[in-house]
Copies of this chain bind each other. A is one copy, B any other.
Amino acid sequence: MITGKNYIGDNLSSNSSVTFQTFNPKLNIENDITFYEASDSEIQKSVELAFQAFKKYKLVSSVEKSKFLNQIADELQLISNDIVNIYCSETGLSEARCLAELTRTINQLRSFSELLINGDFQEVSIDTSIPNRVPAPKPDLRKMLMPLGPVAVFGASNFPLAYSTAGGDTASALAAGCPVILKSHPMHAGTGEVVSAAIIRAVKITNMPNGVFSNLNSKGIEVGEKLVNNPRVKAVGFTGSLRGGRAIYDLASRRDNPIPVFAEMGSVNPVLIFPEKLHKEYAELAEKFAKSITIGSGQFCTNPGIIISFESEIFDLFIKNLVEEIEKLSPSCMLHPNIYNAYINGIENIKKNKHISVLTKEDSESKANFPKHVISSVKAKNFIQDKKLQDEIFGPCSLIVKCLDENEMLQVINSMEGQLTGTILADTNENFLGEKIINALELKVGRIIFNGVPTGVEVCPSMTHGGPYPASTDSRFSAVGTNSIKRWLRPVSFQDFPQNLLPNELKNDNPLMINRKINGIASKNEI
C-alpha cells in the first residue's frame, strides 16, 4: 500500500498541497498514485530529527549498526514482489533487471554490515606516550574515524534501487554512523516509498533512533536545494547528471560552512581499440560492444560512449559489424519521457554536426520512449577541436573516433575530461600499445579495463567508481565498494585521555577485538 507521503523519521506526512505522479514509460501513461511534495516544515523536521538521531546513533555500537543494515536487507528481501511491481511500472525496466538490482542492493547492505564487524574502516591508530623523551615528552595519541553528521542523499534516476533509497550512498552513510535524509527521485517515488517503509521497519525492529532515516518526495529542485543549504546537513551524496551534480556542489561550496559533496556524474567512458586485437576478434568485439552500449537502454554511467581506434580497413570492418549487431537488437524502454526526449535531442544535435557521420539507419519514427540505437563517427582532429562532442548523451549510442596514428590517439586522450572508466582492447604485445597510452589514460579515469566492457561495476574493495571531474566532484573517493564509507568519516584524535573516557575502539584492552595500528604495527593486541 503506497501512500504517496513523505517519511519524516517514522511518521508518514503530507503537509503540502503540491503533488505529482510517476509515469509508466512502457504504457506511456501517468501512474495513479499521488505523491506529496515535502513541505518546508517537513524538510526542517526531517533534518532536525536526523541531528537529534545523530547524537544517539553515533554512540550505537558497530555490532548494533551492523544488525540494522542486515535487517534492512532482510526487509527488502521479504518484499521483493512489491518492489518488482512498483519498480517496473515506474521505470520501464524489466523484472529481471529489477531482481538483479535488488540483489545488488541487498548485497551492498550486507557487505557494509560485515565491514562494521571487523572495524578496519575506522582506521584506529594508537601512538603511546614517551614521557621521558627529550626535548619534550611524547603524548599518548589515539585516533579513529568518526561520522560527519546527517547526510543528504539524492536518489539516482537510472538505479532506482542500487543507487537510490537504500542504495550505496545510504548504506555507506548509515554504516559510517550518519543519519540519512533521502531526496527521493521523482521518477520512481513509489519504489522509494516501498523501500523507505522497509528501512523504517528495520529502524524499529533494531531500536535505532527515530530520524536516522527520512524520505522526502519532490518533483523539482527546491527540496534538494533546501536540504543542501541546511546547516545541520554535513555532507551530500548524489548520482546523476553533470548539471544536477554541479548545481549541488556549487550550493554546498557556497554555504557559510561548506560541506563535502560526492557527486558521481557524467562520463563517456572512452574505449581504445588496437589493431592486433581487431584483426583477431573484430566480430566478437562488435557483438560484445553492441550489447554493452545498449544494456539498460544505454542508461548506465559506465556506458561506452566513445570508441577510439586508427583509420584502417580492419577498424572499418569492426564498425560495420558493430552497426549490424546494434541494429539487430530491439530498442528497449527508457526510464521516462524526459530522458527519452533528452536522448532524441542529443542525437539531433549530432546529426547537425557536419563532421559527424551517422552510421546506423535513419528509418521511420521510433515508438515513444523506445529509442533507436545510434552509432556515428568522427575524425579525431574534429573530435579534439569540438569539446561538445565529449558531452554525455545518456542512452544507447556511441561515437566512433578515427585517429591517424598513435600520436593523434594520445592527443584525443589528453583532450578528454575526467572519466569514470577507460577501456583498452589490445593484444598484450600490441605494437601500438605503449606505456604512454596507459599513462595518459590513467590520468583521466578512476578505473581502467583491459579487454572487457566498462558496464558492470563489481562491488568489491578494489573497485573505484569515481574519477577526475566531471566524472565525480572528488576523485579521492569511490561511490561503489566498501571504501565508499570513507566519504562520510573524519579523523578525531584523543590526546592523553583516561581509559574510562575513551571510545571503546581506543581503549587499552581492545574490548571490541578490532584491528588497530599500535605504534605503526597492525594488531588486535591489548596495550
Contacts and interface: CB of A to CB of B under 8 A. Distances in A.
A31 to B, nearest CB: 30
Query: In the complex this chain forms, how many copies of it are found?
Result: 2
A114 B119 CA distance: 26
Contact of A464 (B126, B469, B491, B500): B491
Nearest to A118: B520
A258 B473 contact: yes
B127 A460 contact: yes
Interface in A456-472: 456, 458, 460-464, 466, 468-470
A498 B143 CA distance: 39
Interface string A113-127: 000000000000111
Interface stretch (A32-40, A284-292, A391-399, A438-446): A438-446
A495 interface: yes
Nearest to A469: B257
A260 interface: yes
Contacts of A456: 136, 139
15 contacts: A138-B458, A142-B462, A143-B462, A148-B476, A442-B492, A446-B492, A446-B493, A448-B494, A448-B495, A450-B494, A450-B496, A462-B493, A463-B493, A477-B491, A478-B491
A177 to B, nearest CB: 12
Interface residues of A, number: 77
Interface stretch (A84-92, A273-281, A363-371, A482-490): A482-490
A54 to B, nearest CB: 9
Contacts of A125: 461-462
A447 B141 CA distance: 9
A149 B442 CA distance: 12
A458 B139 contact: yes
A340 interface: no
A522 B522 contact: yes
Contacts of A473: 258
Contacts of A478: 491
Nearest to A499: B428
A451 B491 contact: no
Q: Which 9 A-B pairs have the closest CB atoms?
A: A253-B253, A141-B462, A464-B493, A143-B462, A475-B490, A447-B493, A449-B495, A127-B462, A125-B462
B476 A143 contact: no
B450 A497 contact: yes
Contacts of A149: 443
Interface in A33-65: 55, 58-59
Nearest to A418: B257
Given A260-B476, A492-B447, A438 B501 contact: yes
